[in-house]
């Protein structure tokens, strides 16, 4: 496939994934990473997608600053940061395909359970805490910690606007560290920054339209969208596992 077509497809993927991110506060990474890895490579996709989502989340956080739940923000960061650090290290030493498959299957199962069977039943607290830690691990490895974070945050931050604002701020903080770390590692030395630059205007449009869409969703529909996205995110990870080899 010619490079220009790969780049155009990459930008279109970012347009859609960041629309989702702007609507729900999560989902951009899990949706963007599988096709992006196939188009530009694993390391290149991780660097570019992380930076693009970082910009999106900062914009959403600033616009929704009054809705940020500072207490839950602190709890989430304390739970996730150790996992992020571990995940970034594991990314450099582990064969990640099998982990991607396991992660994808778990995420699909959780999304289906909440969407079709037990959407009103509270997830046990111990499981939610484990999900919070795992979200950091998956964010560090795949820039895809959103599905596990949602398991915790849907119960901890139930109001729609506070959920979006708080989760977006979590990604703003974590991805700031990840982008700086990747710059220091030289992960933007092979043109990845150009992928970010090409995506800025489409992503800005996605944020604007996403905000309009989010305002129209009531809580019940908002949760259905979130759980459906969990299933899609997991299915994309499983698909990526098989497409890679």
pLDDT reported for residue 77: 94
The three-state secondary structure class of 214 is: helix
By C-alpha distance, which of 41, 38, 2, 36 is closest to 16? Answer: 36
pLDDT reported for residue 121: 57
How does residue 107 score in pLDDT terms, banded at 50, 70 and 90?
A: confident
By C-alpha distance, which of 173, 154, 151, 187 is closest to 78? Answer: 173
Q: Which of 179 and 146 is assigned the larger pLDDT?
A: 179
The three-state secondary structure class of 93 is: coil
**How much is the average pLDDT of 80-85?**
90
Chain centroid to CA 31: 8
Chain centroid to CA 53: 8
How does residue 203 score in pLDDT terms, banded at 50, 70 and 90?
A: very high
Per-residue pLDDT tens over the stretch 108-155: 887 787 777 654 556 777 888 888 888 888 888 877 777 788 888 888
By C-alpha distance, which of 133, 147, 143, 132 is closest to 181? Answer: 143
Q: Which pair of tokens denotes residue 242? A: 């098989």
Q: Which pair of tokens denotes residue 63? A: 């616009």
Chain mean pLDDT for the chain? 84
Q: At what angle do helices 42-63 and 192-216 cross, to 10 degrees?
A: 40
Task: Please say whether the beta carbons of 143 and 29 come within 8 A.
Answer: yes
By C-alpha distance, which of 120, 129, 149 is closest to 233? Answer: 149
Calpha distance 164→68 (Å, rounded)? 8
**How much is the average pLDDT of 13-33?**
83
pLDDT reported for residue 128: 84
Q: At what angle do helices 125-142 and 146-156 cross, to 10 degrees?
A: 150
- Measured over the CA atoms of residue 40, residue 41, residue 42 and residue 43, the dihedral's sign is negative
Residue with tokens 């995420």: 107
The three-state secondary structure class of 25 is: coil
142-151, 164-173, 211-220, 225-234: range with highest mean pLDDT: 164-173
């Amino acid at each position: 496939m010619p490079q220009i077509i790969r780049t155009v497809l990459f930008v279109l993927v970012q347009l859609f994934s960041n629309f989702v991110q702007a609507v729900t506060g999560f989902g951009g990474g899990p949706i963007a990473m599988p096709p992006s890895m196939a188009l530009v490579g694993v390391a290149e996709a991780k660097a570019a997608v992380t930076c693009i989502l970082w910009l999106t989340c900062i914009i959403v956080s600033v616009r929704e600053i009054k809705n940020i739940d500072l207490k839950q923000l602190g709890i989430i960061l304390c739970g996730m940061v150790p996992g992020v650090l571990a995940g970034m290290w594991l990314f450099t030493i582990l064969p990640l395909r099998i982990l991607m498959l396991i992660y994808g299957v778990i995420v699909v199962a959780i999304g289906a359970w909440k969407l079709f069977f037990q959407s009103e039943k509270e997830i046990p607290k111990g499981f939610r805490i484990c999900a919070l830690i795992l979200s950091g691990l998956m964010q560090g490895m795949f820039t895809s910690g959103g599905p596990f974070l949602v398991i915790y945050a849907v119960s901890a931050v139930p109001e729609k606007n506070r959920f979006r604002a708080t989760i977006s701020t979590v990604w703003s903080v974590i991805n700031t560290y990840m982008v700086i770390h990747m710059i220091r590692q030289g992960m933007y030395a092979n043109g990845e920054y150009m992928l970010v630059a090409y995506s800025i205007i489409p992503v800005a449009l996605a944020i604007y339209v996403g905000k309009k869409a989010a305002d129209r969703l009531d809580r019940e529909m908002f949760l259905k969208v979130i759980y459906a996205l969990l299933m899609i995110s997991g299915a994309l990870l499983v698909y990526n596992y098989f497409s890679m080899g």
